[in-house]
Structure 1
Amino acid sequence: MTRWVEETLHPNFRCALKADRVLYENQTEHQHLIIFDNETFGRVMMLDGVVQLSTTDEFIYHEMMSHVPLFSLGAERAKRVLIIGGGDGGVMREVLKHKSVERCVLVDIDRTVVDLSKEHLPEVSQGAFDDPRAEVIIADGVKYVAETDERFDAIIVDSTEPVGPAAVLFTRGFFEGCARALNKPGVLITQNGLPFMHPDHLRGTMELFSTIFADRATYLVDQPTYFGGPFALAWASNDTSLRDTPLEEIAKRHAASGIPTRYYTPDVHKAAFALPGYVAKLSV
């Protein structure tokens, strides 16, 4: 019998992916996790009924989460990176492509996600977990940013949606902890879901950012497996000039890095901040 795995995030909208083969399904200490193969999207991981990644399109999200902040900072200032969540290793893979990065710390609350990603999704991390510049810490991200003595040039929050264990990663306390752990200049990037389907998600983050950071903005990506319109990523920094790095300088940095990208380009970097009207209203 054919099995369809349903995404249950949206209260008035459902979609499903065909599971040609289920490799793993169980309740971890923190969330329900399933990994399965789909003929169109490749290998898919879902947490608590929400698609986290597929091997065919994960590069879009991971490139834009990583390269927008790091090319904005430039090689002289992009040396220490903190990733909250991201246990699949995709963001870490892209971050470590930057030769300027001296240290990359990944903090994820769920060891099972990290372990099963290594086992079933090695093409996502591509050896990043074994890079000597990388450290993986199994811990609560909220507690980590509140207590760490380290300071980072970029903090990238690659979380699930604000339900279940990730809900605390969209609170004032967490964002204030991130601001505390950032160097200046420094930048915080968070995922903020589908503004068409869940406008309050992005609006809430932008309202909190406005009281904590000097600069805030939204940029968009088009991710086929994030069903429901363009996907929002949020930018926050206490350096008001950082986001305005000229296109010519971004292009120069990208070319000098030699980093191959499939979605990210300097033009896309700048254009992603140009928002449709309904998203711009949520980002004020």
Structure 2
Amino acid sequence: MTDSWVNETLYAEWGQRFLVKRELARVKSDFQDIMIFESHLHGRVMLLDGVVQITERDEFVYQEMLTHVPLLAHGAAKRVLIIGAGDGGVLRRVLQHRNVEKAVMVEIDGEVIRLAKEFLPGIAGDAWNDPRAEVIVGDGIDYVRKAPAGSFDVVIVDSTDPIGVGEVLFTDEFYQNAARLLSENGLIVNQCGVPFMQADELRETSLRRGKFFPDIWAYVAAVPTYVGGYMTLGWAAKAKGLYSASVEEIRKRAEAAGILGQTRYWTPEIHVGCFQLPPYISENLPPA
């Protein structure tokens, strides 16, 4: 028992704190400071450089929306590239789709994977051992630079904010290579911050993606521990209209993929509605 408080350090003037029941790990890797602790209300929590990345209690919101929305919008994704996501939660959700033949996950910090396996095993479940999964400890920038053209249908980027180790995943070079390695109807999604507090992140990232993709938008998810309101997930597709499918069509795709009834946040109705943005968010995006 520690009964000490951990304060998140994302914003200088505002934040949240957790009462720590028990500290489980505190590691300084080659890339970042990693802390995992057991909280009183949110289960186990992982912080990277003082910023909350995931909690056991609400991880399903972010993971489901980051994964199921792009895969079901595409409708026929067989090869998926995951950048980051070292806790394994995105990998787990990708592999829930029975039509996925290959999921490649590239995480730069092997310590995140090691600690997640040890202290957060429920996040990934059995995904680490799925024969369709290829887990690479390496540089995502280098991987997308070398990947063959048209080799993936969907790219999912689960990174920290564009500071520190995650900064290179928000550059022109990264999005240009992502567009090249995606198939004809391919698309990429990535976290773009909480626009109530981080509007510049959404605005600047959208401008960069717009140089290489014809269809730029965003969608939202309400993740309680990402403080400040809706979290935005950036959307960039090589074909227009992929997010305009009806509830009925998305329901059919989810049933075929084997995820219908297996989620706690995502539903076909949520899928369609999450692209309807309030003006304070959509004003940071190019016209649809």
TM-score normalised by the shorter chain: which range applies?
A: over 0.9
Indicate conservation of the 8 Å contact 2:245/2:272, yes or no.
no
Amino acid at match of 1:130: N
Amino acid at match of 1:19: V
Match of 2:269 in 1: 267
Match of 1:81 in 2: 80
Matched residue SS, 2:216: strand
Amino acid at match of 2:101: E
Matched residue SS, 2:165: helix
Amino acid at match of 1:148: A
Residues 226-276 of structure 1: CA deviation (Å, up to 9, x unaligned): 111110001101111322222221011113333111100011001001111
Q: TM-score, normalised by structure 2?
A: 0.96
Indicate the larger mover: 44-53 or 234-243. 234-243
Matches within 5 A, 1:93-172: 93-149=92-148, 151-172=151-172
Q: Distance in 2 between matches of 1:44 and 1:241?
A: 37
Matched residue SS, 2:87: coil
Matched residue SS, 1:68: helix
Matched residue SS, 1:273: coil
Match of 1:194 in 2: 194
Q: CA RMSD in A?
A: 1.1
1:16 positional shift: 1.1
Q: Distance in 2 between matches of 1:31 and 1:101?
A: 32
Indicate conservation of the 8 Å contact 1:146/1:180, yes or no.
no
Residues 191-226 of structure 1: CA deviation (Å, up to 9, x unaligned): 011101111000011111221101011100000111
Match of 1:64 in 2: 65
Matched residue SS, 1:165: helix
1:8 positional shift: 0.6
Match of 2:4 in 1: 3
Q: Distance in 2 between matches of 1:184 and 1:60?
A: 29
Match of 2:36 in 1: 35
Change beyond 3 A, Cα 1:256–1:149? closer
Q: Which consecutive residues of structure 2, in runs of 5 or more, have no partner in the other structure?
A: none
1:12 positional shift: 1.7
1:46 aligns with 2:25: no
Q: Distance in 1 between matches of 2:216 and 2:247?
A: 19
1:6 positional shift: 1.1
Matched residue SS, 1:193: coil
Match of 1:276 in 2: 278
Runs of 4+, deviation exceeding 3 Å: none
Match of 1:215 in 2: 215
Q: Distance in 2 between matches of 1:241 and 1:279?
A: 20
Residues 15-48 of structure 1: CA deviation (Å, up to 9, x unaligned): 2111110000021110000000111100000001
Change beyond 3 A, Cα 1:132–1:3? same
Match of 2:17 in 1: 16
- Identity among equivalent pairs (%): 46
Q: Distance in 1 between matches of 2:33 and 2:221?
A: 26
Match of 1:179 in 2: 179
Q: Distance in 2 between matches of 1:55 and 1:91?
A: 14
Matched residue SS, 1:78: coil
Amino acid at match of 1:267: E
Matched residue SS, 1:188: strand
Q: TM-score, normalised by structure 1?
A: 0.97
Amino acid at match of 1:100: N
Match of 2:236 in 1: 236
1:59 positional shift: 0.5
Amino acid at match of 1:188: I
Q: Which consecutive residues of structure 1, in runs of 5 or more, have no partner in the other structure?
A: none
1:148 positional shift: 1.6
